[in-house]
Each structure stands twice: as C-alpha cells, then as structure tokens.
A and B are shown apart, each in its own frame.
With several copies, the nearest count.
Chain A
Amino acid sequence: MELKIDRECVARCRELAAAIVAPVEAFIAAHSTVSVERAALRLLGVDGVTPEEIPIPNAILDALPERQRPAGIALAFGKALAETGLDPAALGEAMALGRYSLTEFTETPEGAARGALRPHVESGLERISGQRQARSELLERLPQLPPPLLYVIVASGNIYEDRTAAVAAAEAGAQVVAVIRSTGQSLLDFVPFGPTTEGFGGTYATQANFRIMRVALDEVSEKLGRYVMLTNYASGLCMPEIAVMAAIERLDMLLNDSMYGILFRDINMKRTFIDQHFSRMLNAFSGIIINTGEDNYLTTADAVDQAPAVLASQFINEEFAHRAGLPDRQIGLGDAYEINPDLEDSFLYQVAQAQLAREIFPEAALKYMPPTKHMTGDIFKGHLIDAMFNLTSVMTGQRIHLCGMLTEAIHTPFLGDRSLSLENARYIMNTARHFGDEIVLRPGGAVELRAHDVLTGCEALLERVAATGLMNAIESATFADVSRAPEGGRGFDGVFERAPEYFNPFEEALRGSLTAVSS
C-alpha cells in the first residue's frame, strides 16, 4: 500500500525525541537501582530463595550496608567470592543460610575482587549468547511462517494449564505465545520463585515457569517444523531481573516500555528510566525483541484523540531503545485497533494510523494490538471487529500481530476462544493476503489527511515535551492524562546515585559487545 507522508516532519520528530531523551540518559548513567544490582547477582549465577522464601538476590542486597550501596553490589560480592573460593551459586546459598555475611569480607583488594568476578561474568554472558545462538539456529532450521506473526496470550494462572493452552495454540497456528502475568506482580520488588499454579488474571513470571513453557514450545516447534516464540513481561519494578531470566531461558520477546510503569502502574519515573535502560541493554545482547506499550494509552482515553500521543511515545521508545543498543528489528513498537467501531469510517482511520507507523518505522518489528476497549459481551460482533483488525494488519504489513479474542470482554481466553481467534486471523490474512499490494490510497483523500493530522499533532506534542523536559512533562500530565511526580510513586527508595567507585561488570561488558551486536 502507498501512503504519502511529510518526511521532513518525521525527521524533526526524531530530532525532538533525541533532544528529549538525552538529558534522561545522562541521569541514568549517574544512577543505579536495587533491581539492577540484583540483576547483576543473577547474571553471576545467584538464584533460589532463603528458608523464609526471600529470593537470595534480594537477601544479599538487603544485607549490604546502606553506605556501601553507591559502589554497587558487585565488588562486595566479588570479595566474598575471592575469600570463600565458592562459586556465586554456592556462595548465594551459603549466605541465604546465614553462613556468611557480606560485611565480613574486607581483606580483599578491589583488583582481586574484580578478578574473582571475571570468570563468572564471562560464563554468565556466554550462557546468554549461547541461547542467542541456539535461537538463530532454531530459526534457521525451523523457519517461521511469514508475518504478521500471530501472537496469542495464555493467562490461566496455572503454568501447567498455560502449557496445555500454549501447545494447543501453536498447533492452531500461533507463532508467538505470551504468558500474561498475574495482576500485581509488576508492583512486587522481587521476582517470585519456582513453578506456580495460582494467579489472578495471569500467571506469575518466574524463571521456573519460563523454563516449563520454553521446553514445551521447543517440543511443539520441532513437531510443527516451525519455531514458536515465547513472550513475557518485563516492565514493572523488576525489569532488569526479568530481562536476565528471559535471556537465560531463551524467551524471544519481552514487554518492555520506557514509560508504562510510570504512567500505568505509578512506579517512580527515575526507577523506571534506569531499569528500562539496563534491561534493554540485556535484551539487545540476548536478541530479545522488546514490545512497547502504546496500546495502553488507548484503553483509558479516546483512540482518535490519542493517536498523536501514541506516535510520540513510539518516537521516544525508539530513541531509548537505540541508546540501549537495540537494533530496529528488535524494537516492537506498539499500537492498537481501539477506535470506536461504530464511528463511521473508523476502519479508514485505523488504516491511516497503521500505515503511518509502517512508513515511519520501516525496519521496526511493529506490534499491533487488537480491539479490547470496545469489545462487549456480543461475541459475534466482537469477532467481526477482530476481523477488520486482522485485515488492517495484513494490509499494512504489521510484524507482530496480537490476536483479538471474541470473548475479550468476558474472560481470559478459553482454549476454544483462542482457536476461533486464530481461525479468524488465518482466514482473513489468507483471503486478503496481497490486498495491500493492490491498492493505492487516493492522494489528498481522507486517509492521507488523517495520517497527516496525526503526524503534525505528534510533532507539536514532542515540541512541548522537549521544551519542559520529559520528567516535568510527565508531572504535568502530558501523557495519558496522568501526573506523576519525579520522586513519587513506587520503588523510589530503590534508586541511588553511583559513587565514583561504582562497579557493575556487566554494564561494561554489554556496552562493549552491543555496538557489535546491533550492527
């Protein structure tokens, strides 16, 4: 499909996004968070829980005296490694049982501590690049079907039911399966441990659950002769740690938005900015495609009005992602089919918006979310709205296609709902496979005009943000009509300024490797 857009305006928007993100990046570089430090411990190989069910990375970090925090956890832990001669996992266990305390290791000089860490840093990163390697081999051998990649969610609360549902969905044509997190997990300042069978509106994101799903999907991938991808959620208070677990268990995508936690979960903005940066560096290194959350803007406010905000957020997410070393093909910018279906010509507006994103972010792995807000108990009409969404997606060449459910307004998907949803997408995308190639949008027509309005609206918005600065802009409710204070919200106490001697071995290693990767 062809849509004419104002390229200069697009260029200006990118410059504005860069101007907006730069100062935030400076702030990020000077700070760290408890979650970043715990992520470092996990990368070294620390895992498991204490007898009191506290995740060992949390236990260790909590045991670190306040005044030592600014230096980061790595050095302190490195000293312990050097003096005990244990490997990180064993040392973690021992500390969990109270056999050692971080404070007792004072002898070792910094150099020796770094030396003790080095092998484990390397093996930690090798483990991840090993998974990255495994993924590309699997994709070679078990090629996916052409995009839009059909993506479904499982959310029973019980990982074993989820596994059943995921395998069934894969057989029915799903190419990506996401396990929805239980409500509230994103507000926990730790990551639950072990396989779980209880959750509300979703299933807990734990490393064990990741593994259970990965094994099942690898199995069915072999059976189907095509690789089925696995997705989970990072955004929240534990973005960096979940990024580590996902890298180790070879997840293929992670929901990872630079502002979602701030706006939609009232998580402190500084905490979020720092966390998203480190987690995205890890995503970049592990070859994980991030999914951003622009769709959320549309669930609470009117989709026609919010279109410029969505585009603005896409520009900002892109800039943050690039700064973390993510290549375009790993950036799944979000959008959703949320315009009131009963609005005359709403389909035209949806096409305009979707094609606009396609033209502006040609290489990005655009992620298209289904209608949700306007879905009702009328499952028959809902199925039709999903059909028009499916048509828009294939017409505009979206990359990642989150299949809508006719029961969206009723319950988290049943096995049968998912099968109907996939049948819907398969039918529509096949019957109209090359329709997009066949049509030219009338120059000066309604679709072109709408796209133009959205783009110019976005530029104006970015200008305002650039003028005040991102943090102030968020405080003055520029996004999603919610105001968040720079020092307010959840998890601010987990943010700290780095001391000159701050040391995080992985950050350095990643920064180095990334330029290589992203090319």
Chain B
Amino acid sequence: MTQLVKPYGDTQNDGKVQLSFTLPLEWSEAADEAARRLAGKMGFTDVQVVDGRKIATGYSFFVLYASTPQAVDVDSIAPSSERTHAMSMDEIDALIEERIGRKIRVAGACIGTDAHTVGIDAILNMKGYKGDYGLERYHMFETFNLGSQVAVEELVRFAKQHRIDALLVSQAVTQKGSDIKNFTQLSELLEAEGLRDDVVLICGGPRVTNRLAGELGYDAGFGRGTLPSEVAAFIAVRLAERRRDAARR
C-alpha cells in the first residue's frame, strides 16, 4: 500500500506551500510578475505573490503562497538513520563487556579549520547532551577528544599510534562545501593508509545526514539533536558485528 501525502494548508491535499526569495531585480510590478512566473516554472499552481518589495538597489524580496501538484509516497521511506538501537548506558557497557571484552578506544575531533567543538564535546564529554551522558562517562569507552581545528593527517597519525577503534569527526561550517571536502579527505587518507577497515568511521554535524555519510564512505552520520547514547550504541553494535563476522571467517 502506498500513502501519498501533499502539503496541508487548511484542506486535505490543497498542497499549500510558503516560499520566499530574493531576486536581483529593481522592484516594480514587473518584478512581482517575474516572481510569479518563476514560481510557475517551479511547477507551482495558484501562485500568489503576497509581498514584493525593494530591499536594495537592484534587489527585491518576495513572499509567495502557492500550491504544489507534487505528492510523496511516505511508505517507501525507511527511517534513514542509525538512531535505531535505543539502549541505556549500562546496557551498552554490558554489551561491550560481553561481546568485545575490552574497552573501545574512541577518538573525536573537529577537523580542518572548523573550530565548532560544542557538537563533538556534547557527544564525548562526561556532561553529555540533554541529560544523556557523553562517552567519557561510560566504563567501556576510552575516549580521546582532540578538540578543534585538527588536520586530518594529524588525526590519522593519532589513530594509528593509539590503535583507535572508532573515529568521530565533526563539521559545523558547511559553506562552499568545506565540510564535504574535509570529510572526504579523511576517508581517502584512511584508505590510502590502509586503515579504513580497522576503524568505525563516523561523522556528524548540524547538516549531516546518515545518507550523506554513506555517500562519503562513512559507517554512519549523525545530525541535529543527536544523543551520545545513540552514537555509543551504534559503535558498540557495529564493532560487535565485525567481531562476529571476523570470528566466522
């Protein structure tokens, strides 16, 4: 069964959407009309330019309401995240103890020129995030927080030296794709150094999605609102699986 849904204004399937954008045009009635046509080209119907005004010489800002004919099939969407295994800190520690039998060594850093450590700190520090303790608080994690603006080369060197099991890297600055650039550099360097399979490689940041992480060759990616336990659980389960698979061979 497929369930098609459309945006809802005040009536099922009216498809109502609000838009706003700037056009590099001096404001005039013709500019309003340009905005209307542009929305038409985007495929919207019943387009209303409810506000259009000059915001600077040669620039106008518009607010529109319109209907979209598009619908999306929600049943085809599998939750795209790794936040699946809801486990408590103790359960996770227990799992590691039993299935791995030793502490997991985790290293985290804010790579490239990015200095936004609050996010990675929220995952690693004792304190944690929103009442959910960070990895340092777990018995079965040994964590190294390398902090901000860490060069990927340095991080890889560190991982080798300290036989790290899981690498956690964060990027908050996404402008001009700098986050993708840095994430890619890291995974490529790990490949080159033949270390990729020795670590669980995880990225995160406000704009990260698990899909993106997959595309970049990471084991998982975590976005806004991530809780440390979700990450801890993922690492533990993933490593346990690897153990098992290794054992099988």
Contact = CB atoms under 8 A, between A and B. Distances in A.
A205 B194 CA distance: 39
A173 B20 CA distance: 21
A412 interface: yes
Nearest to B113: A184
Contacts of B56: 167-169, 171-172, 415, 419
B175 A415 contact: no
A158 B55 contact: no
A410 B206 CA distance: 9
B118 A409 contact: no
B178 A415 contact: no
Nearest to B9: A414
B59 interface: yes
Contacts of A265: 115
B185 to A, nearest CB: 13
Interface in B216-249: 224
B94 interface: no
Contacts of B61: 416, 419-420
Interface stretch (A27-35, A325-333, A374-382, A460-468): A374-382
Interface in B145-203: 147-149, 173-176, 178
A410 B11 contact: no
Interface string A245-270: 00000000000000000001110000
A196 B215 CA distance: 31
B22 interface: yes
Nearest to B16: A414
Given A265-B115, A378-B53, A201 B11 contact: no
A157 B11 CA distance: 10
A376 B175 CA distance: 17
Nearest to B57: A171
B93 interface: no
Contacts of B148: 266
Nearest to A300: B118
Contacts of B22: 414-416, 419
Looking at A155, A199, A376, A414, the one whose CB has the most chain B CB atoms below 10 A away is A414
Contact of B10 (A171, A264, A380, A415): A415
A414 B10 contact: yes
Contacts of A172: 55-56
A200 B176 contact: yes
A140 interface: no
Contact of A416 (B21, B113, B115): B21
A511 interface: no
Most chain B CB within a 10 A radius of its CB, from A198, A200, A379, A412: A200
Interface string A172-209: 10000000001110010000000000111100000000
A165 interface: yes
A161 interface: yes
Nearest to B182: A200
Q: Find the residue from B20, B118, B175, B206 having the highest chain A CB count within 10 A.
A: B175
B63 interface: yes
Contact of B175 (A168, A380, A412): A412
B16 to A, nearest CB: 6
Contacts of B63: 377-380
A131 interface: no
Contacts of B52: 377
B48 A410 contact: yes
Contacts of B113: 182-184, 187, 200
B91 interface: no
Interface string B30-43: 00000000000000
A183 B173 contact: yes
Contacts of B51: 376-379
A370 interface: no
Contacts of B112: 183-184, 200
A129 interface: no
A413 interface: yes
Nearest to B58: A168
A318 to B, nearest CB: 27
A504 interface: no
Q: In the complex, which of the residues A155, A201, A300 has the most CB atoms of chain B within 10 Å of its own CB atom?
A: A201
A377 B63 CA distance: 7
B115 A419 contact: no
A415 B25 CA distance: 13
A235 interface: no
Nearest to B50: A377
Contacts of A413: 10
Contacts of B147: 266
Given A410-B48, A415-B22, A157 B55 contact: no
A377 B206 CA distance: 10
Contacts of A183: 112-115, 173, 178
A200 B10 contact: no
A409 B206 contact: yes
B9 A157 contact: no
A264 B110 CA distance: 14
A299 interface: yes
A475 to B, nearest CB: 17
Interface string A400-414: 000000010111111
Interface string A377-389: 1111000000000
B193 to A, nearest CB: 24
A158 B9 CA distance: 13
Contacts of A424: none
B118 A415 contact: no
Contacts of A158: 11
B65 interface: yes
A419 B55 contact: yes
Contacts of A412: 10, 175
A22 B63 CA distance: 52
A393 interface: no
Given A183-B173, A300-B118, A416-B22, A161 B206 contact: no
12 contacts: A161-B11, A167-B57, A183-B112, A183-B115, A184-B149, A187-B149, A201-B173, A266-B147, A266-B148, A414-B22, A415-B9, A416-B55
For the complex of A and B, 7 pairs with smallest distance between CB atoms: A184-B113, A377-B51, A377-B50, A168-B56, A419-B55, A416-B22, A183-B113
